[in-house]
Structure 1
Amino acid sequence: MQSPFPIPPFALECKTFAKDSFGASFTHPFVLALADGTLDPKLFRFYQIQDAKYLEAFSDACAILSTKVKDPEDKLWLIDAARMALVVESQLHLGYGKTLGYDTNTIANTEPTPNNLAYQNHMVATALQGTVLEGFCAIAPCPWLYIELGQHLLREKGSIPEDHPYASWLLMYSDPGFNEYMTELLKRVQKYAELSDPSAKNRAKISFQQSCNYEWMFWEQAWTSQTWPSR
């Protein structure tokens, strides 16, 4: 699959290392049903609320990383990324909330699923305890996969019908405007890879792969409406 943005050498190593994990999301039944419009609205509602919870942790991870980098441009980029996760994507969540019956209070009062919480903990713990490169590699799969997935689905469909129930989601993630975001993110992955020793780079690739696994698990938790065991 041709990438819609340039992939520097170390980012390509990460994607190759996590090839099976990264590619698995493209054929998950939740994604296929979302793309063809047959996804049960209840499952999409479940997914959207959990995604909003996830983005709070993504924002936290970016904010933590901003305190660990020295370059002011990298600090600003991470701060902007933290803000965008909460502000820009929340517009999509709350837009669907009006039709699916949820709001900011619903999101605040919803417990993350086991898969969601595990993914959140992975990102935040890596940002806190790992190197800057590991932190960037933990957050990179989410936007990377969504952007490639959104543009892949658009190519597959040719166009998004106005009456498609998930048109807003498909149009958002197929927007080529996100390509600049990924270009800037992967540029920083490459920058910090060049400052890292082989051991740190290997840990970063594992961190990237783990996030790819969690991405598949995120579709799965929504597809199955995952809950915690009875307490």
Structure 2
Amino acid sequence: MPVVLEDLATPGGLFDRLRRAVRSSWDSYVDHAFVRALGDGSLPDASFRHYLIQDYLFLIHFARAYALAAYKADTLEDMRAASRSMTAILDLEMGLHVRYCAGWGLDEAAMAAAPEAQATLAYTRFVLERGLSGDLLDLHVALAPCIIGYADIAAALMADPATRLEGNPYRAWIEMYADPDYRAVARAQVELLDRLGDRRGAAARFPDLLRTFDSASRLEAGFWDMGWTLAR
């Protein structure tokens, strides 16, 4: 499945350079078997429900990461951007997720009480650790695969002849992340990463940032692995 994100990435920008340098890790995430099974509708319901529950728990920590981003910011612009993102997760995205999950027979109280899977623990704590021990750039590099990758995945699925939309139980999920509004979110994340890189010396720090980006991409692939193992 060809994956192209040149319309989002700025050629030569920090995100573009990070992705190019760890293309195999990135592709193992965005072109995972779980993703392809979403596209053709063959993913078992149980695998998708497990993913949805863990994604609910993930969003809680994602909001915490943006609270940390506000703390780590050194400009009002960056503080306000982090605050808007945290508010969007808590007041909008989580509500949308809960309503979507209800269509799959999942209750919010039950999802909140579910134990975090190892893959959820690994990725969310990694993101928070990078933010705590590093600076705002380290944190956003760790967050980038999730935000931008989902737009990459959905665009590729929509363009893939193997994707079946008619009668596909996962059509709404695919279309949600292929929507222009979500692509705008992903594009804004690319631009933020590039701006932070310019301000915070990304060129000199590139090897360390690359390790973070590579780890985050592999942890995202591990998040798909978590659901895919139920399908085998």
Measure how far apart 1:164 and its partner are. Answer: 1.9
Question: Out of 50, 54, 73, which is 1:50 matched to?
Answer: 54
5+ residue gaps, structure 2, are: none
The equivalent position to 1:29 in structure 2, one of 27, 33, 55, is: 33
Task: Please state how far the C-alpha of 1:74 moved relative to its aligned partner.
Answer: 1.5
Seq. identity, %: 25
2:24 corresponds to 1:20:
yes
8 Å contact kept, 1:115–1:221: yes
Give secondary structure in 1 for the equivalent of 2:141. helix
Q: Could you say if the C-alpha distance between residues 161 and 190 of structure 1 is closer, same or farther in structure 2, counting changes exceeding 3 Å?
A: closer
Structure 2 matches for 1:64-75, cutoff 5 A? 64-75=68-79
Distance change (3 Å), C-alpha of 1:87 and 1:17 = farther
Partner residue in 1 for 2:144: 140
- How far is 1:101 from its partner? 2.0
Q: Give the superposition deviation at 1:148.
A: 0.8
Aligned-partner SS, 2:116:
coil
The answer to whether the Cα contact below 8 Å between 2:177 and 2:183 also exists between their aligned partners in 1 is: no
Asked whether the 8 Å contact 1:137–1:204 carries over to 2, the reply is: yes
Q: Distance in 2 between matches of 1:113 and 1:160?
A: 29
Contact kept? 2:127, 2:139, Cα under 8 Å: yes
Q: Distance in 1 between matches of 2:96 and 2:161?
A: 21
Shift of 1:160: 6.4
Ranges in structure 1 where 5+ consecutive residues have no aligned partner: 227-231
Whole-angstrom CA distance in 2 between matches of 1:123 and 1:83: 19
2:61 and 2:13 map into 1 onto residues whose CA distance is 28
Question: Counterpart amino acid of 2:175?
Answer: L
Tell me which of 191, 210, 213 is aligned to 1:205.
Answer: 210
Query: Is 1:216 aligned with 2:224?
Result: no
**Per-residue CA distance 1:166-218 (angstroms, 9 max, x = gap):** 11101101112223222322222122222334553322221111110011000
Q: Give me the whole-angstrom Cα distance separating, in 2, the residues matched to 1:2 and 1:99.
A: 31
| 8 Å contact from structure 1 (residues 115, 214) kept in 2 | yes
CA contact (8 A) 1:65 1:132 kept: yes
- Asked if the contact 2:9/2:16 (under 8 Å) is kept, the reply is no
Q: Which moved more, 1:43-52 or 1:26-35?
A: 26-35
CA distance in 1, matches of 2:167, 2:20: 37
Picking from 3, 6, 11, the partner of 2:6 is 3
The 1-side partners of 2:213 and 2:38 are apart by 25
2:193 corresponds, among 189, 194, 205, to 189
- Whether contact under 8 Å (1:193, 1:201) holds in the other structure is no
- Once residues 183 and 77 of structure 2 are traced to their aligned partners in structure 1, the CA distance between those partners, rounded to angstroms, is 19
**Contact 2:32–2:224 (8 Å) recurs in 1:** yes
1:56, 1:39 → 2: CA distance?
A: 25
Q: Distance in 1 between matches of 2:21 and 2:36?
A: 25
Q: Contact (CA 8 Å) 2:5, 2:152: kept in 1 or not?
A: no
Q: What letter corresponds to residue 70 of structure 2 in structure 1?
A: S
More divergent stretch after superposition (34-43 vs 189-198):
189-198
C-alpha separation between the residues in 1 aligned to 2:111 and 2:205? 36
Q: Structure 2: which amino acid aligns with 1:202?
A: P
Task: Write the distance in 1 (CA, Å) between the matches of 2:86 and 2:6.
Answer: 24
